[in-house]
Amino acid sequence: MQRSIPRLMIAAPSSGGGKTTVTCGLLQAFINRGIETISFKCGPDYIDPMFHTEVLGLKSRNLDLFFTDMQTTNNLICKNAKGFDLAVIEGVMGYYDGLAGISTDASSYDLAKKTKTPVVLLIDCKGKSVSVLAEIKGFLELRPDSNIKGVLLNRLNAMFYPDLKKLIEMELGIEVFGYVPQRQDVSLESRHLGLVTAKEIGNLRNILNCLAEQMEESVDLDGLLKLANSAKSIVCEVKECIPGNWRIDELTHIQEDKVRIGVAMDQAFCFYYQDNLDLFTELGAEIVPFSPLEDKTLPSNLHGLLFGGGYPELYLEKLSSNKSLLKEIKQAISNGIPCLAECGGFMYLHEWIQDRDGKQASMVGSIKGVSYPTDKLGRFGYITLTANRDNLFCKKGKIIRGHEFHYWDSTNTGDCFHAQKPLRKRQWDCMIAEGNLVAGYPHLHYYSNPYFAHNYIKACIKYKKEGEYIAK
């Protein structure tokens, strides 16, 4: 069926061009106007959606054409944008930057083209004047179906804006929707290749309000709304939460058996794809958050555990000193509770995590070995994972897609799955999958193979029926 969803994408020529700051400012400005707004992030990023969530008061989602095919992506847009007046999509990296750095596949451009979303290109004007026109012209002409319908000028002096706007519109025939001046008081600090998490910025609410005021002053918000309303309808399936190749009748019995999954959620463990958690819920699970930093015991009556990524290395002393919870988690895993751990969660389940000074902090101990720091980003980017043998999630030979991004490594990375970089020769074995435990550095996207989530929930149901784990 066809669904009309007003939407636009904010993209840029490169990372670090101010996409997140401007996107958050626009979201806040639209919210302040009383417009029911939802947001998405192109690509596998966890942190940018956290900032969107702080603005909207509801979860932002990711859209990624490496993880999901075009139809599933459209379905996710339709499902999550239902009932909203406007959807704003933040691009990833440079507009045309896609798989392996040599393709436009899974790029912002690819997503805009396949979802028929109009694009506003955010141009960094610091240290430039007429040269900005050459930059914009290149992006408009590299692909005839660029979908770029307008530009925003970032880090531009207000006095120069009228002249530059006139030049761009006269020579390139593309609309300029406004400018954003350089302001140190509303910048969002960087860590590694991403931002600090939203919870770490104490004055974030003040920053967002200042950004919204700036957008009202110097950006044509009415023009952006008009552009968003010009977006063509999206074709989506009736059962929007289920990919087309996933048989719905196989899920019926699962939805009848409710299970409780304990999910580690705090400043140390905060990297989750909301669609992954939604999929668990749709399969009949109740998500039960707990904090490895603050809680002394696990929630009661759990049938599964999930430890996502984050920054456990920043909280080693506090995590290590929570001895009662560490002991309880280890006992629960020993008792057979299905457990999935990714990246930071994988580190947490080790016997030890080593800090950059060489000091080791004791952790859960369900995984033998030490997680230790390296001097560089060890593995970065998309991967396709193929099971080397049968495991909790799947049979040998089945695949799921994900990505890696970590500065820590391990003396025990596992070999249950084989990882392959797209469009590259680099490959390696990784992940531990022993009985009820699946853990490793890769972040998984369940919609790339929903049967992984299906099988995990089935294992939780079996565990529930054979003997509940009850926190002491």
pLDDT digits (tens, 9 = 90+) for 334-379: 999 999 999 999 999 999 999 999 999 999 999 999 999 998 776 7
pLDDT digits (tens, 9 = 90+) for 380-390: 789 999 999 99
Judge whether residue 321 has pLDDT over 70. yes
Same domain, 190 and 261: no
Same domain, 394 and 352: yes
Q: Within 288-322, where are the H helices? A: 316-321
Same domain, 188 and 284: no
Same domain, 392 and 462: yes
Same domain, 115 and 181: yes
**Which residue, of 235, 258, 287, is where some domain finishes?**
235
The range of the structural domain enclosing residue 262 comes to 248-466
Q: Is 345 among the domain residues? A: yes
pLDDT digits (tens, 9 = 90+) for 208-263: 889 999 999 999 999 999 999 999 999 887 554 554 444 444 555 566 678 999 99
Q: Is 366 among the domain residues? A: yes
Q: Is 226 among the domain residues? A: yes
Q: Is 107 among the domain residues? A: yes
Q: How far apart are CA 274 and CA 282, in angstroms?
A: 12
Position 244 scores a pLDDT of: 44
Question: Higher pLDDT residue, 189 or 56?
Answer: 56
Q: How far apart are CA 188 and CA 18, in angstroms?
A: 9
Same domain, 453 and 405: yes
Position 294 scores a pLDDT of: 98
What is the pTM for the complete model shown?
0.92
- Assign residue 179 the CATH number of its domain: 3.40.50.300
Q: Confidence class of residue 196 from pLDDT cuts 50, 70 and 90? A: low
> What residues act catalytically?
343
Same domain, 112 and 26: yes
Q: Is 243 among the domain residues? A: no
Range among 247-256, 290-299, 406-415 with highest mean pLDDT value? 290-299
**Which residue, of 235, 259, 285, is where some domain finishes?**
235
Same domain, 164 and 271: no
Which tokens is 423 given? 């469009």
Same domain, 263 and 224: no
Q: Is 110 among the domain residues? A: yes
Position 468 scores a pLDDT of: 59
Residues with Cβ within 8 Å of 109's Cβ and at least 6 positions away in sequence, in order, are 11, 95, 96, 98, 143, 146, 147
- Specify the amino acid at residue 267: Q
Position 442 scores a pLDDT of: 96
- Assign residue 447 the CATH number of its domain: 3.40.50.880
Contact 81, 1 (CB under 8 A): no
Q: Is 472 among the domain residues? A: no
**Which residue, of 194, 212, 235, is where some domain finishes?**
235
**Which of the residue ranges 126-130, 372-376, 438-442 would you say has the lowest mean pLDDT?**
372-376
Q: Is 224 among the domain residues? A: yes
Same domain, 102 and 170: yes
Domain count, the chain: 2
DSSP H or E run through 190: strand 190-191
Q: How far apart are CA 228 and CA 6, in angstroms?
A: 5
Q: How far apart are CA 131 and CA 137, in angstroms?
A: 10
Of residues 157, 207, 150, the one with CA closest to residue 179: 157
Judge whether residue 267 has pLDDT over 70. yes
User: How many other C-beta atoms can be found within 10 angstroms of the C-beta atom of residue 175?
Assistant: 15
Mean pLDDT, residues 147-152 taken together: 98
Bridge-based pairing state of the strands 269-271 and 417-420: unpaired
Same domain, 218 and 270: no
Judge whether residue 66 has pLDDT over 90. yes
Q: Confidence class of residue 12 from pLDDT cuts 50, 70 and 90? A: very high
